[in-house]
């Protein structure tokens, strides 16, 4: 049963990938969807057994690396964290598979697409079920690889290729952190298994090394979870198809970084400095991404920046040691963000693949159902009371408030809650409510939303509405909430309402209240992060690579003391040597006698 969840997703990936031609597009889609739905069922069963019945399962499958100092086995660990992650991964993935059946209907490469999606699900499951860091690393790299494959799914587009390379490379920066952390853990603790590591007695003098390990793990998290500094790949990853954005860049892959932090909580607990850094970076990410999300005109990029922002919340709350709340927000966020992305996909599909929200508007009439679904997603994202987002997001703000040293972060997070509400409402307003900017023939065309799309969205709607209430008891039952008076508790909701309402107000009178142009451009270009990185980091690295390591070292010094220099020296020498043989007899005689004399003297 427990191995089935890994096996069946792998089966789905390999069959659709290898025999996609044989079983056809429809067969590949249905087969992989059914496989993932079965695995989702298995995941729910595992959730029931592990979390609700409280029986943690460990499986040892066999030795992988077996040397004197290091024994690593293929092991699976199903504790409550894994079980909850499994539920999210498989259910979101199942919804995305079903959605893709409708969304990718006209695409010629459905078997490849389904295979990649299933492969991604498989590797994500490998990531969360592993019981040691090295096996986790397989999944970690694997999801990065799948992200690459899926972002440039339409590989004929240069922009998709560039975005994919960017995603892969920026992720690789974080992966370096993880692998260095693994080395350090191995060196200082001698084991990589979570169970052993979490029970290790830490000496006082090993505090320093744990700080370093935690810093490296946090760098890995920054890369994967798109925190500030390495976040620029996430918005660019929107070049892939929309279901991919929903699955990878909203619900699952980016949460791997947060998962790593939660998994390594035993280490982060002993590293207070890194925890502070984590919450600061998380808060800044939440705020900055939210401001960028305010003015993006690409429908998918708005949601991508909101993902960044929400990931900032998760990392921030990890920094103040409320790991279960972080996990709770992760679960809730997966549902409503996948919902938002998939409904964005449905909208984009309806308006002839137009992604610019300035060229939409008034879609409430032709797409009433999609409007309701998007509205639920947006309200949930805003943290409207009694929807999913409320249970985790407001709790995060309250818990941050409870820690008095984090007042700055509290206000950052509250402001980003306001901004989140603002851009969610802006999105709703510009897409659905305001006067339309769509061409007439598209607008009056009878909109048909595929049944698969409706099914997938309905599943996620249920999750977005009820998930928070249901999971609250599971995840937060034994948590002590700090005492906060009611006024402060009202602040986040108030902020959200203010943000949401002001969006309507401002965008109704957009012409009159034209935002300050320079500021708008600055935020619209994502605080110039790409510019800064390209011009100061990437370009100088390229210059270093070209002028120093290529021109000076590779083609310079190494060539001069290597092949080219040797050739030059030896040709010169041999030319001189052969000039000795002048053709004149008396010279020969002279040389002969000289050498005879030398021989005699010696």
Partner 1 sequence: MCTVTGIVLFILGVWGIILNKSNLMIILMSIELMLLAVSLLFTINSVYLENIIGQIFVIMIIAIAAAESSIGLAILIAYYRLRGTIAVKSLNFLKG
* 3-state secondary structure (DSSP) of residue 179: helix
* 3-state secondary structure (DSSP) of residue 199: coil
Among candidate residues 308, 315, 476, 302, the one with its CA nearest the CA of residue 392: 476
With respect to partner 1, which residue has the nearer C-beta, 198 or 582? 582
Name the minimum Å distance from CB 591 to partner 1.
Answer: 10
Q: Is residue 85 within 8 Å of 128, Cβ to Cβ?
A: yes
Among candidate residues 259, 256, 238, the one with its CA nearest the CA of residue 341: 238
With respect to partner 1, which residue has the nearer C-beta, 501 or 592? 592
Name the minimum Å distance from CB 592 to partner 1.
Answer: 9
Name the minimum Å distance from CB 558 to partner 1.
Answer: 33
With respect to partner 1, which residue has the nearer C-beta, 518 or 585? 585
Which tokens sit at 157?
């587009």
Name the minimum Å distance from CB 580 to partner 1.
Answer: 6
Name the minimum Å distance from CB 565 to partner 1.
Answer: 24
Cα gap 421→502, rounded to integer Å: 9
With respect to partner 1, which residue has the nearer C-beta, 546 or 595? 595
> Which helix or strand (DSSP H or E) is residue 167 part of?
helix 158-189
Question: Rule CB under 8 A: which residues touch partner 1?
Answer: 577-586, 589-590, 593
With respect to partner 1, which residue has the nearer C-beta, 67 or 578? 578
With respect to partner 1, which residue has the nearer C-beta, 534 or 587? 587
Name the minimum Å distance from CB 576 to partner 1.
Answer: 10
Q: Is residue 346 within 8 Å of 260, Cβ to Cβ?
A: no
Enumerate the β-bridge partners of residue 66.
71
**What phi and psi, each to the nearest 5 degrees, are found at residue 474?**
-65, -45
With respect to partner 1, which residue has the nearer C-beta, 55 or 582? 582
Name the minimum Å distance from CB 602 to partner 1.
Answer: 19
Name the minimum Å distance from CB 585 to partner 1.
Answer: 5
What contacts 466, CB < 8 A, 6 or more positions away?
A: 388
Question: CA separation (Å) from 312 to 227, 269, 284?
Answer: 6, 19, 7
* 3-state secondary structure (DSSP) of residue 58: strand
Cα gap 501→504, rounded to integer Å: 5
With respect to partner 1, which residue has the nearer C-beta, 534 or 574? 574
Say if strands 57-66 and 71-78 run parallel, antiparallel, or are unpaired. Answer: antiparallel
- Count CB-CB contacts under 10 A for residue 269: 15
* 3-state secondary structure (DSSP) of residue 481: coil
């Amino acid at each position: 049963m427990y191995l089935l969840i890994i096996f069946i997703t792998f089966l789905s990936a390999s069959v659709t990938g290898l025999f996609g031609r044989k079983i056809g597009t429809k067969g590949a889609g249905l087969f992989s969807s059914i496989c993932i739905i079965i695995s989702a069922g298995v995941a729910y069963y595992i959730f029931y057994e592990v979390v609700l019945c409280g029986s943690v399962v460990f499986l040892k499958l066999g030795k992988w690396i077996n040397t004197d100092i290091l024994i690593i086995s293929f092991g699976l660990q199903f504790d409550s964290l894994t079980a909850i992650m499994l539920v999210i991964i498989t259910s979101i993935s199942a919804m995305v598979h079903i959605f893709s059946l409708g969304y990718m209907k006209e695409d010629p490469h459905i078997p490849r697409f389904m295979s990649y999606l299933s492969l991604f699900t498989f590797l994500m499951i490998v990531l969360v079920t592993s019981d040691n860091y090295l096996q986790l690393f397989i999944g970690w790299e694997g999801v990065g690889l799948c992200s690459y494959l899926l972002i440039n799914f339409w590989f004929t587009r240069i922009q998709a290729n560039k975005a994919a390379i960017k995603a892969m490379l920026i992720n690789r920066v974080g992966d370096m952190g993880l692998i260095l952390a693994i080395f350090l853990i191995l060196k200082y603790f001698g084991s990589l298994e979570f169970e052993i590591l979490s029970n290790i007695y830490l000496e006082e003098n090993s505090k320093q090394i744990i700080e370093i390990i935690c810093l490296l793990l946090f760098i890995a998290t920054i890369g994967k979870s798109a925190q500030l500094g390495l976040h620029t790949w996430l918005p660019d990853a929107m070049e892939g198809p929309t279901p991919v954005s929903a699955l990878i860049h909203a619900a699952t892959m980016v949460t791997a970084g947060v998962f790593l932090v939660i998994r390594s909580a035993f280490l982060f607990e002993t590293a207070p400095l890194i925890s502070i850094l984590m919450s600061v970076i998380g808060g800044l990410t939440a705020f900055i991404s939210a401001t960028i999300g305010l003015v993006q005109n690409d429908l998918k990029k708005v949601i991508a920046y909101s993902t960044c922002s929400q990931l900032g919340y998760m990392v921030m709350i990890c920094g103040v040691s409320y790991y279960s709340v972080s996990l709770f927000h992760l679960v809730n966020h997966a549902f409503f963000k996948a919902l938002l992305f998939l409904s964005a996909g449905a909208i984009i599909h309806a308006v002839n693949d137009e992604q610019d929200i300035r060229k939409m508007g008034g879609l409430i009439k032709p797409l009433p159902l999609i409007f309701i679904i998007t509205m639920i997603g947006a309200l949930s994202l805003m943290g409207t009371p009694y929807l999913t987002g409320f249970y985790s997001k407001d709790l995060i703000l309250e818990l941050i408030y409870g820690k008095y040293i984090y007042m700055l972060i509290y206000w950052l997070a509250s402001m980003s809650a306001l901004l989140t509400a603002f851009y969610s409402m802006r999105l709703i307003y510009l897409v659905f409510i305001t006067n339309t900017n769509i061409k007439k023939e598209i607008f009056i065309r009878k909109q048909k939303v595929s049944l698969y799309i409706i099914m997938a969205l309905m599943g996620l709607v249920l999750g977005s509405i009820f998930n928070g209430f249901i999971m609250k008891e599971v995840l937060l039952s034994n948590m002590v909430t700090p005492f906060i008076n009611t006024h402060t508790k009202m602040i986040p909701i108030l902020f959200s309402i203010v943000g949401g309402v002001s969006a309507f107000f401002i965008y109704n009178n957009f012409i009159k209240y034209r935002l300050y142009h320079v500021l708008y451009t600055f935020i619209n270009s994502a605080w110039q992060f790409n510019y800064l990185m390209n011009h100061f980091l990437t370009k100088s690295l390229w210059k270093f690579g070209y002028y120093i390591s290529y021109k000076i070292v590779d083609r310079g010094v190494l060539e001069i003391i290597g092949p080219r220099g040797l050739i030059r020296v030896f040709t010169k020498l041999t030319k001189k040597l052969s000039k000795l043989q002048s053709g004149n007899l008396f010279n020969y005689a002279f040389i002969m006698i000289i050498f005879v004399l030398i021989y005699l003297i010696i």
